[in-house]
Amino acid sequence: MFRNRFLRSLSQPLSRTVARTAPSIAATAYSSLGRLEFPGKFICVSCQVRALASQARRGRGTRASGFLGVIKRLEAHVQLIEKRAADLAVQDAARKRLPSFDMTEEMQDQAYASLMTPGSKTAAFLPQPKTVSEMLPAPIIERLGSATALVDTSTPLWSAIIGELGSNGGFQGMEIMDVNCLLMSMDLKSRVESTSVLQEMMDKAKLEPDTFTYDLLMMAHAQLKRPVEVKILFQDLKKRGVAPTVFTYAHLLKAHSLQANVEEAGNAFIEMRDAGIRPNIVVYTTLIQTCLNRREVPTAWQIFDLMKLKSRATAPDTHTFALMLHACALEGASERALNLFKDMTDRMKLRPTKETYHALIHALAVRRDYYHEVWRYATEMQQEGFRMDRRVLGTLIQACGKRGDLTRARMLIRHMLGSGKEDIIPNSATYQCLFRAYANAEVVKKCTKFAEDDPLETPVPYVGPDTRLMKQEESFTEDTLPFSQNTILNDPLEIMGEAKRVMRWLCAVKPHLVDTQLMNAFLDVYCHHFKLKVIYYKAFTDPTESDYIELTTSSAETEDLTPEPNASVPATTTTTTDTDTRADIDTGPDRNTDGGSPDQFTFQTRVPRNLYTFQIALNSAYRNRDLSFARDIYNHRVKYLRTKQYLWYRESERKRLDVQAECSLINTLARCEMLGEAAARLEAACLKYKIYEPDIATLHIKALQLDDFKTLRVIKECVGTTPFRDYATGVRFRPRWDDGDRVEELSKTW
């Protein structure tokens, strides 16, 4: 009966079988083990169990037929289950002694990333070292000896410390972990300066750097913007056969981002994926930064969409959203920026950070019609407790410059200068935005109407208790900016006069801030005034002989760089020297300006021209119908195309600016009613560039007005045509690159 019941139980699950029959069978087996397997000997029960388990694993005794074989096989299962239960009990007891904390893969990445981030905060529950020497391992402290006192100074001289360590035997007898601890104790700049010395010491001690060693060195060079050294370290890592991690590739991608090299960044990403390394959020964010540095915004959006759809581990964070908001600023897509900000706060449930608010304000500041939204979010930012720094205030002034709100721009500059805080004192980019405000200032003759007709204007920006822009006691002294006493400037000459005084003050007090970009912004202020020619010749320098490309450059490359006109194009006037050109300019005193007009004081700081300088001057020549000045600028630009500075621009940017220059000269010729030369130059330009009809709208309109069928035929063959009715209905055509009377944003404030 017992046998039948036991055989039936074999068809049931093992857990039920053990629960019901194991105790009785085990007891029966234990009582008969001595007689069955070990006759004439006394063996304890535990030894018999181990012997049976060993025989069961080897298959001995479990293959017997009949009732005894079944018992032995079941006994072997019971013993294995008991052993597993005992192991699980030990593991459970060890787990209960640890804090209940699940360490996911994402959290491991974050922990490693925080360790690789400079200035990372240590957990509050961990003991903090009081001195730097407490962070160093014992072998290094022993090797330094009395020189350990140099480590505990306020600013350790790591070069002297490393030298003392090298003279006392270096890393002989140490482990690579000791070297890593030394690297973690050093600041980034000292790490970079001592990289070669540390590598020589490791080679002498025959220590092989591990992945963490390379990560610490590559991170220091990447943070200090030394991409070439990062690539050299990565090649050395591969040469030594050290396995890179996802953070190693993140540092390499950072180097490619600094060089705006999208192709190499893509190759590194593919290499990382082929190596079986899963990209994390740091890798994807670095790829987005690389694309934005190269102005490849569509690719950045593709990577961003991939991050959202891939997994929660790579979901965009606030830093990623800030980058994409800056991408919206590059495209002028303020609506998309608002939708993206709403998606971040409502759907992703992410709390905006200071960087996120700044990026949103930057995306709104590039559009005149979103000027009021700029101040709305600036107020919200301060109400959230975020402090306004130089970058945020500079972006607000950029918005004022785009809108032409000179009054508020001057107010912000006054606040920044009078704050007494060095971290918000205006820099060169801030003054660039101020000059853009001078250039775009909307002159209002009736001050009372200013307040009545514009009720939507936001009042003085909110200033939180932590960021009050007021003069503090015992702060540094700042020279007074020569602003006019009038709150609102109503006269164009008054605006240009104040801009001139500000520039003269900058040249005298802050010459280190005067650069080409700042002078270009000042040039925009005089874009509608004939005195721009004086500034163009007196405030800028011509390229030197060392700036030109060497003669060894291939003729094909040189020909590609210089857009020489076609033989059928009437050549521009012979290039004149600066002396000859200045002789043709009216340098007499202007009765409408004061004695300090730009033509009556010498610029103490002269800067070289760039492509944007030529474009601003060409736009001024077009507005003032000054054909001789336009020809002279174009000839200067042709010379500039043969310099090394021209090659610093990205190819897409060079091509865009070259098209703008050609179209500006063509439209200037058309405006001066020289349609034959304009048409011939258009034919030559279309052989190299793709030109659209709106780019030469002035030439087209003039040809229609004068019934110049020959020019109309050239336009139709080169760029197509626009129906006459579009012009007849009053539609105003502007070049795709022109913003009307609004100046182009040439400064970068983020």
Quick check: 261 and 290 in contact, CB under 8 A?
yes
Confidence of residue 386 (pLDDT cuts 50, 70, 90): very high
> Given a cut of 70, is residue 592 above it in pLDDT?
no
Q: Which long-range contacts (CB under 8 A, 24 or more apart) does 465-471 make?
A: 466/385, 466/387, 467/382, 467/387, 467/388, 469/415, 469/416, 469/418, 469/419, 469/424, 470/418, 470/419, 470/420, 471/418, 471/419, 471/420
Q: Is the pLDDT of residue 750 over 80?
A: no
Report whether pLDDT(28) > 90: no
pLDDT at 726 over 50: no
Q: Cα–Cα distance between 151 and 162 in angstroms, integer? A: 10
724 versus 93: which is more confidently predicted?
A: 93
Query: Can you say how many angstroms the Cα of residue 646 is from the centroid of all Cα atoms in its chain?
Result: 23
Mean pLDDT of the region 160-173:
86
pLDDT class for 168, splitting at 50, 70, 90? Answer: confident
3-state SS, residue 327? helix
Determine, yes or no, domain membership for 388: no
Average pLDDT (255-270) is 88
**Mean pLDDT in the chain?**
76
Q: How many domains does the chain have?
A: 2
Residue 328: inside a domain: no
pLDDT confidence of residue 161: 85
Span 68-120, pLDDT tens digits: 777 888 888 888 888 888 888 877 776 666 555 555 666 656 655 555 554 44
What tokens were used for 719? 């760029």
Q: Which residue has 């180097």 as its token pair? A: 255
% of residues, the chain, pLDDT over 90: 29
* pLDDT tens digits along 273-332: 888 888 888 889 999 998 898 888 999 999 999 888 877 788 899 999 999 999 999 999
Contact between 353 and 321 (Cβ < 8 Å): no
- 214-258 pLDDT, tens digit per residue, is 999 999 999 898 999 999 999 999 998 988 988 899 999 999 888
Selected residue with higher pLDDT from 412 and 454: 412
Q: What is the pLDDT of residue 343?
A: 92
State the pLDDT confidence band at 34, using cuts at 50, 70 and 90: very low
Q: Name which residue leads in pLDDT, 392 or 314.
A: 392
CA end-to-end span of the chain, whole Å? 88
Residue identified by tokens 């303020």 is 334
Query: How large a percentage of the chain has pLDDT more than 70?
Result: 69
Tell me which of 56, 82, 97 is where a domain ends: 97
Is residue 715 domain-resident? yes
Task: For the beta carbon of residue 263, count every other beta carbon within 10 angstroms.
Answer: 9
> What sign results for the dihedral spanned by CA atoms 59, 61, 63, 67?
negative
Helix (H, G, I), strand (E, B) or coil at 541: strand
Domain boundary among 79, 97, 115: 97
Domain holding 24, by residue range, is 2-97
Q: For residues 127 and 262, what is the distance between their CA atoms, to the nearest angstrom?
A: 43
Read off the pLDDT of residues 329-352 as tens digits, 9 standing for 90 and up. Answer: 999 999 999 999 999 999 888 999
Highest mean pLDDT: which range of 65-79, 461-475, 511-525: 511-525
Is 412 a domain residue? no
Give burial (CB, 10 Å; 0-12/13-18/19+) of 126. Answer: exposed
At 580 the pLDDT is 38
Cα–Cα dist 565/554, whole Å: 20
DSSP-derived letter for residue 184 is: H
Give the contacts of 346 (CB within 8 A, at least 6 positions apart): none
Say whether pLDDT at 707 is over 50: yes
pLDDT tens per residue across span 654-697: 899 999 999 999 999 999 989 999 999 999 999 998 888 889 99
Listed range (159-168, 354-363, 681-690, 732-741) with the worst mean pLDDT: 732-741
Give the pLDDT score at 252: 92
| Cβ neighbour number for residue 497 with a 10 Å cutoff | 19
Q: Pairing relation of β-strands 540-541 and 607-608? A: parallel
Q: Among 66, 97, 128, which residue terminates a domain?
A: 97
Alpha carbon 326 to chain centroid, angstroms = 9
Q: Whats the size of the chain, residue-wise?
A: 750
Q: Is the pLDDT score of 22 beyond 60?
A: no
| Chain segment 317-330, per-residue pLDDT in tens | 999 999 999 999 99
- List, for residues 127-150, the tens digit of each pLDDT value: 455 567 677 888 888 888 877 777
Characterise 566 by phi-psi region: left (phi > 0), alpha (psi -120 to 50), beta (else). beta
